[in-house]
Amino acid sequence: MPRRMPDLSVYLVTDRLLSRGRALVDVVLAAIRGGATVVQLREKEGSARETLELGRALLERLRPLGVPLIVNDRVDLALALGADGVHVGQGDLPPEVARRLLGPDALVGLSITGAADLPTLDPAVVDYAGVGPIFPTGSKADATPALGLEELARLRRLLPVPVVAIGGITAANAPAVIAAGADGVSVVSAICSADNCEVAASALAQAVREGRARRASSPG
């Protein structure tokens, strides 16, 4: 594929409601200073116009830093923004439609909530899979049952694209998630709700490195 995959190590999903009244741009920039490598704009509240303006503000700051901005669900907003890509769920616009609209160079991510979703992922269309929830999570009201680490490892073996694990992930359990095969961890509250977003992101980045070292040293 002509698209260049970004570093998926620490994938931040935004949530203004969990950001404790702080400006979203400030939360995101602090997270990037700490080691966040990808930002997904996910805004379930507010109008499309408000989200567009927020996306523009983020893109203006992220582009010079080389950090990709992915838009959750809304292919139209991703297109209007000129964002780096879109992440779609199983109930959203099909990934092949997103690809057709956004073009060959955009990043397209797809949520995988279990083995039943695997046939929906075409590696010629989808760049990475967001697999989860791995652990119980409070940041997504409609989350499906937690998969656990063993199922994550099994799905990773079956998936032909990089995997970002999501759902209940913290700096404490991230090493085990990476050791199970995930290429990166996606978090919401672990950064957005933290007292210090930069420190929280740094701890997650360190946890990812620890998990990779653990995986590299494991037999087989």
Which stretches of the chain score pLDDT less than 50? 1-2
Annotated binding-site residue? 43: yes
Q: Is 129 part of any domain?
A: yes
pLDDT of the residue at 111:
98
Q: Is 2 part of any domain?
A: no
Annotated binding-site residue? 111: yes
Q: Is 34 part of any domain?
A: yes
pLDDT of the residue at 127:
98
Residue 26 and residue 12 in contact, taking contact as beta carbons nearer than 8 Å:
no
pLDDT of the residue at 2:
44
Active site residue 42: yes
Q: Is 178 part of any domain?
A: yes
pLDDT of the residue at 139:
62
**CA–CA dist 81, 96 (Å, integer):** 20
Q: Is 42 part of any domain?
A: yes
> What is the pTM assigned to this prediction?
0.95
pLDDT of the residue at 100:
98
Tokens, residue 178: 């990476």
Active-site choice (3, 61, 140, 214): 140
* Count of domains forming the chain: 1
Active site residue 111: yes
Active-site choice (9, 16, 99, 111): 111
Query: Which CATH number do you get for residue 121?
Result: 3.20.20.70
Angstrom distances, CA of residue 93 to CA of 56, 72, 96, 100: 22, 11, 8, 11
Annotated binding-site residue? 47: no
Q: Is 4 part of any domain?
A: no
Q: Convert the pLDDT of each residue in 68-121 to its tens digit.
A: 999 999 999 999 999 999 999 999 999 999 999 999 999 999 999 999 999 999
Question: By residue range, what is the domain housing residue 153?
Answer: 10-217
Q: Is 3 part of any domain?
A: no
pLDDT of the residue at 137:
80
Annotated binding-site residue? 170: no
Active site residue 186: no
Annotated binding-site residue? 42: yes
pLDDT of the residue at 1:
36
Phi-psi region of 34 (alpha: psi -120 to 50; beta: other; left: phi over 0): alpha
Active-site choice (16, 42, 74, 99): 42
Q: Is 131 part of any domain?
A: yes
